[in-house]
Structure 1
Amino acid sequence: MITWPEYKKLTFNDKVRRLYEDGSFIMAIRYYQYKVNLYLMGNFYVEVFVEHKDSTIAKIALLDKDSTRLAFYSDQIKLPTGLLR
């Protein structure tokens, strides 16, 4: 399984490919102008920020344990704290 440092070094297109081939979709939230899809990639969570207007991926990032978005996720699911960075 790929690690976050390895994943982070991939090209954008390879990140998307690996995400859809190897990731597990957990849930989606609305956050400002984005729909944010949360994926589990082995032992780390990845957020995919999708622009509402044109349905394009704006950013792929590691879920930060200090993010204010955690409240949106934790209202609906229980995230294992050992996987949060």
Structure 2
Amino acid sequence: MSREDFRNLPLHKKINLLYTEGTFIVGIRYYTHKVNLFLLGQEYIEVFYNHKLDKIDNIDFLNTGHSRMKFYLDQIQLPL
């Protein structure tokens, strides 16, 4: 599945795909979200869960240039 195909999926299908075919890597706290990092095939994908609203706000591919990377790299070794 291409990145574009994944991005075009409805949220519930992204969730199902990640939880059935993906591998959970690590979870971090980032401002108002718990961000779970998954590996799906060769792609890292972040799931942004807003615990105050009890909902997933966003699911997207890991942006390795984002400052959030330091939180992941403190806990695990990611191939960049």
**Offset of residue 11 of structure 1:** 1.2
- Select between 50-59 and 38-47 the one with higher mean Cα deviation: 50-59
Unaligned runs of 5+ in 2: none
Unaligned runs of 5+ in 1: none
**Offset of residue 72 of structure 1:** 0.2
Counting matched residue pairs gives: 80
Aligned residues: CA RMSD: 1.0
**Offset of residue 65 of structure 1:** 1.2
In structure 1, the residue matched to 2:45 is: 46
Map residues 6-85 of structure 1 onto 2, 5 A cutoff: 6-81=5-80
User: 4+ residue runs of structure 1 moved beyond 6 angstroms?
Assistant: none
Query: TM-score w.r.t. structure 2 length?
Result: 0.93
Q: Percent identity?
A: 43
Q: Does the 8 Å CA contact 1:47/1:62 hold for their aligned counterparts?
A: yes
